[in-house]
Structures are given as structure tokens and as C-alpha cells.
Amino acid sequence: MNGGAPTSPADPLLTVDRLTVTIGGGAGRHAPVRPVEGVCLSIAAGETFALVGESGCGKSMTALAIARLLPEAGRIAAGTVKLAGQDLLALPEARMREVRGGRIGMIFQEPATSLNPVMTIGAQIHEALALHRGLRGAAARAEARRLLDAVGIPAAAERLDDYPFQFSGGMKQRVMIAMALAGEPELLIADEPTTALDVTIQAQVLDLLARLQSERAMAMLLITHDLGVVAHVAHKVGVLYAGELIETGRREDFFTTPLHPYTRRLFAALPDNAAHGRMLDALGGSVPRLDQSFTGCRFAARCPQVFERCTIEAPDWHRVGAQAARCHLHEASLQACLQPEIRTDIKVATLPSASVSPVLEVRDLAVHFPLKKRALFQKRQILRAVDGLNLTLAPGRTLALVGESGCGKTTAGRAILRLVPPTAGTVWLDGEVLTGRRRAIRKMRHAVQMVFQDPFASLDPRLTIGEILEEGMLSLGVGGNAAAREQTIDGLLERIGLSPAVRGRYPHEFSGGQRQRIAIARALAVSPRVIVCDEPTSALDVSVQAQLLNLMRELQQERGLAYLFITHNLAVVRYLADEVAVMYLGRIVEQGPVDRVLAAPAHPYTRALLAAAPKADAQAWQNTRPAAMITEPPSPVAPPPGCHFHPRCPLANELCRRAFPDALDLGGQWNVRCHRAAEQEGVQK
């Protein structure tokens, strides 16, 4: 079994054999980067092959190579790619254009940047239909409408004339799926199709892909770092590390008996695998540079079970039942070395008491946005993004704010910092009311900082890392003189795991996880007491996510920081948060201690969120999500009367449709706004 992983016994639709990709290099230049080297995989019709691994391991580059969409400096140096027996690498580019978008469909990671912002959705789908199926005019429009209907876009006929900015993130992802299906592909390549989507939209997209695959018998190559997604849709799994495939097998075997030490460390880094209050078993180090020649195992420098042979001899493939792994430990003579590794260096966090006086209080916060009138005598509409929010943050504790996209979580965080002007409400800092005056806002900026979701967009690309960290200190007049500020910056860089030597580099020279650490360091530079974290882990792979969560917990213990953690990742909430507030259409519908709320949620919406969250266990997924949750949430411009959740709630009655529920105290600082909560089993008034 030299060189390649074992292939499926069924006749595969796609066969990739010893695929190698190089970027750059040439006479008188640096050595070429090899992001993909010797990759072998096969996918049968109707089968999903999930490709997992850390950022920078070569997952997306493998997909681009299969579709022959490599960057200008990239080339396929070796290997073959065959689709139903046809060698795609031997086709001229004109023929490949017919295959790409026709026989091979592709869903890109970020639909907002993949859709043309100046073309209507219908026009973009028409392009694919004209090129690959020869449909034009009324026939193309009818087929485009059918495709939007198939992917669950309501009022498809009218939405064909809308532009991408008029769609939510989940709906844009569905439009991308419709465009990928326009050519009736035999193979669908989905590159992180659910990244940054909330759990309900993610579940809808995954269900949609599974249904369409079943109807069309498509093969699917799924690229993801979310092991919960893998558990839901994959049939086979391949693990990539440093451009090399190191483990393959069936989904069930992958989750029950992972073979490679790297795969086992990915599972160990999951928040679900750690008790609340413990440090995650994060994988140290980073993926090695790919412009070097490897003599041994590529994972050796980070492997807890490494021995001398690993550093001098590259491992061959070894079968274990239906699985295969590229690891010396799976030789018959070394089976005794495969005992589970026991970590003794994982520290236990000491959680502060909830009775500590709050550092920040928010009461009746509202943020309303008046919309432009479309007609002269039309009544102006109001978008109620946040509509009466109450929150309390104590030093050394974490409050998680969860809910679907568009429920107002980010707007609430920005309004607390006065980055968005609030319409109403009061914010107290250390018991003192904060006004909109300049001095009060300056005090707020010193005490409360924000870590944004996309660090690349929030870090100024024209400033060095040192200048970015110093900017806040200069603006607020803290940190002392230049020498003191430089010393503070060096200490911050060391604290987030970077060398002070990188202070002269620019943001584009760092990975996504490193940029997020830099964003945290920037927030810490002015010594705040509260940090608002807006989806800081949504686009990170599990190993980098674990490193970041450990860093946040350590900083909280050292400095007594209070976190307002905005996220849709319920596994992270369960691990990091002390309290959780569930938000729906601008209002909190349930709030309380995280262990009680997530163990026995009282509100139907909270239960629906938990049911929709994919679990990293091949046997755990149960499609128990209420059918009403498949619908889109109502518009905050015209929220439903009564309880806003009643159109999607399986328990709604006439009272729910008529009156918004008051808060029901369930004891222990746990409350819920639901007329039916007291009737539910296990919930006491």
C-alpha cells in the first residue's frame, strides 16, 4: 500500500491518485510550496467524503486542484484526477470550462464574496443555465425559480430580481447551492458550506445538501473543520495534515476509534470533551512550513507519542480493519504503544462566585433603526434590532449571548460600547450611569473593549502589529511613555504566544488564529475589565479554537476579566460560560446558569437551538428539531404579535399569539419568557 490511501471497493465516480500541487519556486527562487503532496482519495456516486484538518493543511487547495482552479502561481506537479474515468488533467481549458460548473459544482466558503454584488440572483443563475444547459429567456427563468424553490428560498419568483445584499447569510448560502446545482453536477465540492452560520441555518443547509444528494445521487467532497458537520453528513472521512493524507475510514470508525495521534488530538481539543472549568487539551505548535523536504513523519514535532524512528523515516499506510493510517505506531510490533495518552498538565480553573458586585449592568437597552420610505406617503418602518435588553456582567465571569443570525446579538454588543447609538436604555459601569458625553464614552472605552468576529477586517492592514497594539494606548492616554508602552506590547505578544520580534510585521503575515490572538492583545492593551467577544471562534479549526479558549480562560483568571461572549457555538458556551442568555428577535427569552439552561431548557426556542446543533459523534445525531424551525425567523421590522416565537413554536396556543409573556422566575437566577414553560415537565414555577 505504498504511497496512497486505500480506495473504496465500489466503482468510484471521482478518483484522485497521488495528487501533488506546487506553488512558486523555479530557477533562482525560493523552494516551491507543496500544499498538497501525494493525496489519494475516491468518492462513489451518492457518497460524501469529508476532508478535515487544521487551516493550512491543504484542504481547499485539494478541492481547487480537482476543479483546476489553482492560483496563477500554482500548478499540478504530479498525479491524476479522473471523473467517471475521464482524466480531467488532460483536458484543454475550453473543455474543462464545460466540466467546471456542469459535471462538477462548487460551493465556496464565503458566499458574500462569491456572488456578484451588481448582478441580480436570477441573472447569476441564468449564466450557469445558459453555459451548461443551453437554457435562455423564459425557460431559464422558470428553471432558476425551480432551483430557488428546491433550496428553500421563499417567494422564489420575486427573489430572482433581488441582489445578494438583500439576502441573509443562510439564504446567500442557499443561493450558492442553487447556482452549483444549475449544471446538474455529478460531483459537488462544498468548501466550508456552514462556516459562520448559526445552528438552525446550518442544520437547514446540511439537511438540504443531504436531501439533494439523495435525490440526484451526487458524489460530494465536503471540506470542513467542524466535526459535528462531519458526523451529520459524511460517509467516509479523510484527515489531511501538512498537505498529506494521514488517515481514512468510514465515519463510524473515525468517531469511535480514531487511529492517528493527530486525529485523537483533534477530538481531545473539542470543548464537549472537557468539563466546565478545565483547560482544553489544545494541540501545541502549528502546521510545519510546506516549502521544506520532510524526512520523517510530518506530525512528529507535535506528537505526544513520537519516538526516534518518526523523525527519520516517513510512515507507510497501515490498515486496521476498514480504516487506514499513515503512522509507525500501527505496525504489529508496536501495538503496545497505542495506550491512550493521559494528560497530567491540564489545569483546573477556579470560578469566581456569582455574588460578586457587577462591573457592568444593562437595563432596557433598545436599538431601533428607522428605514427609508419607499414611497412619499408611506409610513416609515422601524427595525427593532434590540428591544429591551437586560444583562449583568460580574468580574471574572462569562455571560454568553446566543441566538440565530439577525436576532440582535452583535448590535447589542456594539450598543453597549456606543459604537451604535442606543435608542433607549441605561448602562451602569461600577454602579455609575454612563451617558453619551465624551468623558463618559472615553471612560467606557478604557473599561470595555471589543474583539470583533473577523480579525482581518478589524486590524488596519497599513499598520504593523506593534502600531496596532499601541494605537489604543495612545488614543486613551494610558501605558506611560514610549519605552513603557513598548515593554507592555512585548509582554502582550509573549502572553498570546507570539514572539516580540513579530511586532514589525503586518496583519496579512499571520494566520487566522494568530490574528484573533492579536485582536485580543489589542483589547488587553488598555487594561479593560470587560471584553465583548463577537463570534471570536466561528471561523477557527478545533485546535486553534482550543488554544484561543484556553488563552481567554487564563487571562480571565489572571485579570478578573468579565466576558460578554456572543456566539452560536453551543459547545463553546457549555465549556466557557457561567451564564447564558438566549436572544430572539431583539429580546431575551431565557437566561440563567449555563449548566441548568443547557441541561433542561425551559423555552421551546432554546430546546430547538440545542436540537439543531450538530454533535461530534456519529451515533448522537437525532433529527428532533421541531418542524416549524425549518421556516425563516420573522422580520424584526414587523415582528409577530404576542410571543414573537409563536409562528415557529410547536406549543403555541391562543394566549401565545395574543400577549408577550412576562418573565417567569424558575429560581437560582434562572428566568424564562414563555406562557407554556410552567406546564413543561421538570420546570417548576
Query: DSSP letter at 433?
Result: E
| Residue 274 CA neighbour count, 13 Å, CB half | 28
**Nearest alpha-carbon partner for 429 in 408, 446, 452:** 446
User: With contact defined as beta carbons under 8 Å apart, do 83 and 100 qualify?
Assistant: no
User: With contact defined as beta carbons under 8 Å apart, do 491 and 266 qualify?
Assistant: no
For residue range 59-105, what is the model confidence (pLDDT) as tens digits? 989 999 999 999 888 999 999 999 999 999 999 999 998 899 899 99
What is the pLDDT at residue 9?
43
Q: Reduced to 3 states, what is the DSSP secondary structure of residue 42? A: strand
* CATH number, span 14-103+185-338: 3.40.50.300
Residue with more model confidence, 193 or 345: 193
pLDDT more than 70, % of the chain: 89
List, as one string, the DSSP characters of 424-487: EEEEEETTEEE-SSHHHHHHHHHHEEEE-S-HHHHS-TTS-HHHHHHHHHHHHT-S-SHHHHHH
Same fold, 14-103+185-338 and 360-371+381-614+622-679: yes
**Relative orientation angle of helices 169-181 and 199-216, to the nearest 10 degrees:** 10
Query: DSSP letter at 489?
Result: H
Amino acid sitting at position 126: H
Query: DSSP letter at 478?
Result: -
- Please state the length of the chain: 685
For residue range 112-162, what is the model confidence (pLDDT) as tens digits? 778 899 999 999 999 999 988 999 999 999 999 999 888 878 788 888 999
| pTM summary value | 0.84
For residue range 252-275, what is the model confidence (pLDDT) as tens digits? 999 999 999 999 999 988 886 556
Q: Reduced to 3 states, what is the DSSP secondary structure of residue 468? A: helix
- pLDDT range class, residue 167, cuts 50, 70, 90: confident
Q: Cα–Cα distance between 58 and 60 in angstroms, integer? A: 6
| CA 561 to chain CA mean position, Å | 24
Place of cell 504593523: 464
What is the pLDDT at residue 8?
43
User: With contact defined as beta carbons under 8 Å apart, do 107 and 189 qualify?
Assistant: yes
User: With contact defined as beta carbons under 8 Å apart, do 538 and 568 qualify?
Assistant: yes
Q: Cα–Cα distance between 590 and 347 in angstroms, integer? A: 32
What is the pLDDT at residue 332?
63
What is the pLDDT at residue 516?
85
Return the domain boundaries, the chain: 14-103+185-338, 111-183, 360-371+381-614+622-679
What is the greatest pairwise CA distance in the chain?
Answer: 84
CA dihedral 583, 588, 593, 599 (to 10 degrees): -60
What is the pLDDT at residue 345?
44
- Residue spans of alpha helices (H) in 296-350: 308-312
Q: Reduced to 3 states, what is the DSSP secondary structure of residue 134? A: coil
User: What residues have CB less than 8 Å from 217, skipping those under 6 apart?
Assistant: 45, 46
**Nearest alpha-carbon partner for 111 in 187, 196, 50:** 196
Q: Cα–Cα distance between 667 and 685 in angstroms, integer? A: 8
- Residue spans of alpha helices (H) in 245-294: 251-256, 261-268
Sign, CA torsion 110/112/113/116: positive
Place of cell 506528537: 303
Q: Cα–Cα distance between 146 and 141 in angstroms, integer? A: 9
What integer best gives the mean pLDDT of the chain? 86
- Residue 398's DSSP bridge partners are 563
* Distance between start and end Cα atoms, the chain: 64
Instruction: Provide the strand spans (E) within 331-488.
Output: 360-370, 382-393, 398-402, 424-429, 432-434, 448-451
For residue range 357-389, what is the model confidence (pLDDT) as tens digits? 899 999 999 999 887 766 666 677 888 889 999
From 126-130, 352-356, 451-455, 604-608, the region with the lowest mean pLDDT: 352-356
For residue range 523-564, what is the model confidence (pLDDT) as tens digits? 999 999 999 999 888 777 888 888 888 888 988 998 999 999
* CATH number, span 360-371+381-614+622-679: 3.40.50.300
For residue range 309-321, what is the model confidence (pLDDT) as tens digits? 999 999 999 999 8
User: With contact defined as beta carbons under 8 Å apart, do 259 and 330 qualify?
Assistant: yes
What is the pLDDT at residue 509?
83
- Does 348 have pLDDT greater than 60? no
From 241-245, 271-275, 493-497, the region with the lowest mean pLDDT: 271-275
Query: DSSP letter at 281?
Result: -
